[in-house]
């Protein structure tokens, strides 16, 4: 198979190395940024890739612009596309699927969610014969490293983030990770594959930027720890829900055992039951290995991970079926003044000028809306779903 690569960064270089070490692949061109060409196999011109005789183009550029332009043009030119770019697929996955179908070419992206963890390809297969009840998990290694370091090593949020950067687990600008946006994009991809819907509005997202060492102290007193989890699924009404939020999980739960920068992707099938996949969710070789799995799938004849029914939209479910109890921390003055608007079930304790409590069961949307309203009035707040399993 004749292959060209868009990008020669962390992932692109890993793909190039692995393709060279496997028989049956001929690398035609590797697109690099202006001024970065250092070898004959590299080119700084996208037109060179567009006009070469490659059958398959692997996109490892990141971002949306110019990645969408380049991948769509390659598909129109009769080249199949494999992408590891979650931002691109979350924004334009359906567009690229339609272009690929129109031209009879492949568009696969299993490396865009979970790195080496084969969650998307397994969902793609499972949904053919089973009903996916829900899917998600711990899908961001940066946030898990920070939370695990705060939990087990007593580090502050700032020190744990600085260490994650030093080890290469966090980007120079980690906003997408700690805000939950990176996890949300992966949930969007999971929803596309499992439910034929690309969520584009009304999802709820809460990252880890408001977590503190005091939250972990109280969590430990409850026999729990904190992790960031993304989830989507079908309520009994048949409507879809999707969210990202911290979770207070018991120490014997699967999530609490996920250490360092490891990911845990899970889904529950109506017939299969709970399925779990644990491993490296990012990095040069884990991601490159997932890309090469897609290369093999293209060689075997697979062309799509999405069905023709996949659409942009969001039939969000805000019913009783999406109710959760929440662990909250709120500064004492705000708690006293807003007690009537906060559905408190039980006050846990008061520490460091804050009140810790467990809420009555409320919808995910209601909790996120309440937190946003309190913050608009200057409140300092942290909340996490109180998970029992």
Beginning with the edge strand found earlier in the chain, give each strand of the sheet holding 2-6 in spatial order.
42-43, 26-31, 2-6, 56-59, 80-83, 107-108
Q: For 198, phi and psi rounded to 5 degrees?
A: -100, 105
Claim: this prediction has a pTM higher than 0.85: yes
Residue 323 pLDDT: 87
CB 317 within 8 A of CB 240: yes
The tally of CA atoms less than 13 A away on the side-chain side of residue 238 is 0
Question: Is 303 one of the catalytic residues?
Answer: no
The pair of structure tokens assigned to 386 is: 């109180």
How many other CB atoms are there within 10 angstroms of residue 40's CB atom? 6
CB 363 within 8 A of CB 202: no
Three-state DSSP class for 157? helix
Residue 106 pLDDT: 98
Q: How far apart are CA 12 and CA 62, in angstroms?
A: 10
CB 202 within 8 A of CB 313: no
Question: Which residues, at least 6 apart from 135, have a Cβ–Cβ distance to it below 8 Å?
Answer: 119, 123, 190, 191, 194, 231, 232, 233, 265, 266, 267, 268
Q: Is the peptide bond before 66 cis (omega within 30 degrees of 0)?
A: yes
Nearest to 281 by CA among 102, 149, 142: 142
The pair of structure tokens assigned to 49 is: 């890739």
Low-confidence ranges of the chain (pLDDT < 50): 319-320, 389
Active site residue: 86, 105, 186, 386, which one?
186
Q: How far apart are CA 267 and CA 275, in angstroms?
A: 5
CB 33 within 8 A of CB 56: no
Q: At what angle do helices 213-221 and 141-153 cross, to 10 degrees?
A: 70
The pair of structure tokens assigned to 354 is: 């804050």
Beta bridge partners of 234: 240
- Using a 10 angstrom Cβ sphere, with 0-12 exposed, 13-18 middle and 19 or more buried, the burial of residue 193 is buried
Pairing outcome for strands 381-387 and 326-331? antiparallel
- Using a 10 angstrom Cβ sphere, with 0-12 exposed, 13-18 middle and 19 or more buried, the burial of residue 104 is exposed
Q: What is the enclosing helix (H) or strand (E) of 230?
A: strand 224-234
The domains found in the chain, sorted by start residue, are 2-108 (3.40.50.720)
Most distant pair of Cα atoms in the chain: their distance: 69
């Amino acid at each position: 198979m004749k292959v060209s690569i868009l990008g020669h960064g962390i992932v692109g270089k890993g793909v190039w190395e692995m393709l060279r070490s496997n028989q049956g692949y001929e690398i035609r061109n590797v697109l690099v940024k202006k001024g970065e060409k250092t070898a004959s196999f590299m080119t700084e011109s996208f037109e060179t890739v567009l006009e070469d005789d490659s059958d398959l183009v692997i996109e490892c550029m990141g971002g949306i612009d110019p990645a969408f332009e380049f991948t769509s043009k390659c598909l129109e030119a009769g080249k199949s596309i494999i992408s590891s770019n979650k931002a691109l697929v979350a924004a334009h996955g359906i567009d690229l699927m339609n272009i690929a179908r129109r031209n009879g070419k492949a568009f696969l992206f299993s490396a865009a969610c979970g790195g080496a963890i084969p969650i998307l390809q397994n969902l793609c297969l499972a949904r053919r014969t089973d009903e996916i009840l829900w899917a998600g998990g711990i899908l961001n290694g940066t946030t898990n490293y920070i939370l695990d370091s705060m939990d087990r090593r007593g580090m502050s949020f700032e020190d744990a983030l600085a260490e994650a950067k030093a080890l290469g687990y966090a980007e120079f600008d980690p906003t997408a990770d700690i805000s939950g946006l990176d996890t949300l994009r992966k949930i969007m991809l999971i929803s596309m594959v499992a439910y034929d819907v690309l969520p584009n509005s009304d999802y709820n997202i809460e990252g880890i930027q408001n977590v503190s060492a005091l939250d972990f102290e109280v969590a430990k007193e409850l026999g729990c720890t904190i992790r960031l989890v993304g989830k989507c699924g079908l309520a009994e009404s048949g409507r879809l829900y999707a969210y990202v939020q911290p979770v207070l999980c018991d120490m014997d739960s699967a999530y609490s055992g996920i250490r360092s920068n490891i990911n845990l992707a899970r889904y529950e099938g109506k017939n299969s039951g709970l399925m779990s996949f644990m491993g490296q969710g990012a990095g040069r070789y884990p991601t490159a290995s997932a890309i090469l799995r897609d290369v093999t799938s293209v060689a075997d004849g697979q062309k799509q991970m999405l069905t023709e029914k996949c659409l942009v939209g969001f039939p969000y479910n805000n019913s009783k079926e999406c109710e959760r109890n929440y662990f909250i921390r709120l500064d004492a003055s705000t708690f006293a003044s807003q007690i009537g608007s906060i559905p408190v079930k039980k006050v846990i304790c008061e520490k460091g000028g804050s009140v810790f409590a467990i809420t009555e069961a409320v919808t995910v949307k209601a909790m996120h809306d309440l937190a946003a309203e309190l913050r608009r009035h200057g409140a300092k707040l942290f909340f996490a779903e109180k998970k029992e399993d």
